[in-house]
Amino acid sequence: MNDDKRKILVIEDDLGLRTQLKWALANFEVLVAEDGPKALHQFERKRPPVVILDLGLPPDPNGASEGLATLEKLLKLAPLTKVIVASGNDERGNALKAIELGAYDFYPKPADLDVMRLIIDRALTLHDLEEENEQLALGRTSPLAGLVASSPEMLGLCRSAERVATANIAVLITGESGTGKEILARAVHDLSARAHQRFVAINCAAIPDNLLESELFGHEKGAFTGAVKQTIGKVEQAHHGTLFLDEIGDMPLSLQAKLLRFLQNRTIERIGGRKEIEVDVRVLSATNRDLAAMMTDGSFREDLYYRLNEVSMHMPPLRDRPGDAILLARYFRAKYAKDFQRAPKTFTTDALAAIARYRWPGNVRELENRVKRAMLMADGKAISSADLELCDDTDILQMPTLRQIRAQAEAEAVLRALAITDNNVSDASQLLGVSRPTLYEIMHAANMPINRRDRS
């Protein structure tokens, strides 16, 4: 019968109090433990969302050391747990210490049972909300696995990714550094028929030019000084799967020719090898450089560009994805709370405002690093703009007011209507469904010259 009831763990060394609480909380499935180790054992088995913890536990029944240590261990196991601490009148300092460590609330002993039930109800509601939020943040908002996005720009891109994934064509992903190009490439691979085969990535900028050829195509034993054994290159490793060429704009010209040959013939020769080896890979590549300009100045081969770019996809910078920065910040907060086994923290209002206003020159990577650092460093339960080191006014996006947005849209509509009506104000006002004086007002407000043709 207990199955429908919510679970609560009561950690209390006094048998009388344990029994009293069990009786008073008959609406719940009450688990009890008289010391820290037993409590942790119960907790691991049943995972109750709410725990009532007496700080004075053996072997330190008159102090709080064992209670506080148990609190820390519980929150490490499940950071979303709401721990309510019981404290005597002279233990206020310890209760506050427990709150600092992540306890949800405290109540003075002896317990007023009505107040206690209220605290428990609120704790349960908050626990359920936070759990739901975490679930959302950890992936359900994502149209593609691992790629968190909600802005129309990104949702459109996700749809394109789904479409190109199934066709076996080369995709070139462009976009500023840290925007998530590699994550998009992985999503394309995961959605393709090659998903159960390997995704092999190589960063062409991270490997010195003289080693890149061997890294890509492999070498035979003795092919050059130091080639002590045969080595299979990345292209061959990706056989039947996907090869991701990151920072393709950094590939030296000599190697571009060799890559082009591979894309034309679909065969490679290891350095120092004599036979041609057939390799079947799908090639995805990415760059944050302007390949068009590089083709003009001769540093990137045009024929290779067209081989790599059967379809192109552009990752917009984070500042051009309205709403995504906040969503991603919440996602990384949940991710690192889990990774670091920390109690979840909220963002203060000023932190959220700072995230929305900042220009994010380093894009998602910068956001991830700032949230990660704040999760480690922030004292207390909330992350502020100072914890994110977003306090000064540099790199702030100027947010237009609604009034400015409306004025701009009106001015654009008027310009379009005047163009269509050959500058006839009467016809333009009719087209826009406003009176002539209103039209003049908009033109005046937008500083447009008022020497238009008018029928009247």
Ligand X SMILES: Nc1ncnc2c1ncn2[C@@H]1O[C@H](COP(=O)(O)OP(=O)(O)OP(=O)(O)O)[C@@H](O)[C@H]1O
Q: What proportions of the chain, in percent to the nearest 5, are helix, strand and coil?
A: 50, 15, 35
Among the listed residues 77, 12, 80, the one whose alpha carbon sits nearest the alpha carbon of residue 41: 77
Minimum CB separation of residue 430 from ligand X in Å reads: 46
Q: In a 3-state reduction of DSSP, which class is residue 411? A: helix
Count of other CB atoms within 10 angstroms of residue 214: 19
Report the residue number, 186 or 307, with the smaller CB distance to ligand X.
186
Six-digit token pair at 270?
């290891």
Q: What is the C-alpha separation between 327 and 143, in angstroms, rounded?
A: 13
DSSP string, 74-129: HHHH-TT-EEEEEE-GGGHHHHHHHHHTT--EEEESSP-HHHHHHHHHHHHHHHHH
Per the CB < 8 A criterion, the answer to whether 262 and 268 are in contact is yes
Q: Which amino acid is at 305?
A: Y
Give the binding site for ligand X (CB under 6 A).
147-149, 175, 177-183, 246, 286, 288, 328, 364-365, 368
Report the residue number, 245 or 259, with the smaller CB distance to ligand X.
245
Report the residue number, 291 or 432, with the smaller CB distance to ligand X.
291
Report the residue number, 214 or 287, with the smaller CB distance to ligand X.
287
Q: What is the C-alpha separation between 285 and 279, in angstroms, rounded?
A: 17
> What residues contact residue 140 under an 8 Å CB cut-off, 6+ apart?
none
Minimum CB separation of residue 188 from ligand X in Å reads: 12
> What residues contact residue 352 under an 8 Å CB cut-off, 6+ apart?
326, 329
Minimum CB separation of residue 274 from ligand X in Å reads: 36
Minimum CB separation of residue 141 from ligand X in Å reads: 10
Minimum CB separation of residue 328 from ligand X in Å reads: 6
Minimum CB separation of residue 144 from ligand X in Å reads: 9
Per the CB < 8 A criterion, the answer to whether 54 and 67 are in contact is yes
Instruction: Name the residue with the smallest CB distance to ligand X.
Output: 180
Report the residue number, 332 or 347, with the smaller CB distance to ligand X.
332
| Cα 84 off chain centre by | 31
Minimum CB separation of residue 282 from ligand X in Å reads: 18
Report the residue number, 143 or 272, with the smaller CB distance to ligand X.
143
Report the residue number, 56 or 180, with the smaller CB distance to ligand X.
180
Report the residue number, 52 or 164, with the smaller CB distance to ligand X.
164
Report the residue number, 365 or 436, with the smaller CB distance to ligand X.
365
Q: What is the C-alpha separation between 59 and 39, in angstroms, rounded?
A: 14
Minimum CB separation of residue 310 from ligand X in Å reads: 20
Per the CB < 8 A criterion, the answer to whether 231 and 218 are in contact is yes
Minimum CB separation of residue 335 from ligand X in Å reads: 9
Report the residue number, 151 or 197, with the smaller CB distance to ligand X.
151
> What residues contact residue 340 under an 8 Å CB cut-off, 6+ apart?
375, 376
Peptide bond into 110 cis (omega under 30): yes
Cα radius of gyration rounded to whole Å, the chain:
31
Minimum CB separation of residue 198 from ligand X in Å reads: 18
Q: What is the C-alpha separation between 246 and 207, in angstroms, rounded?
A: 11
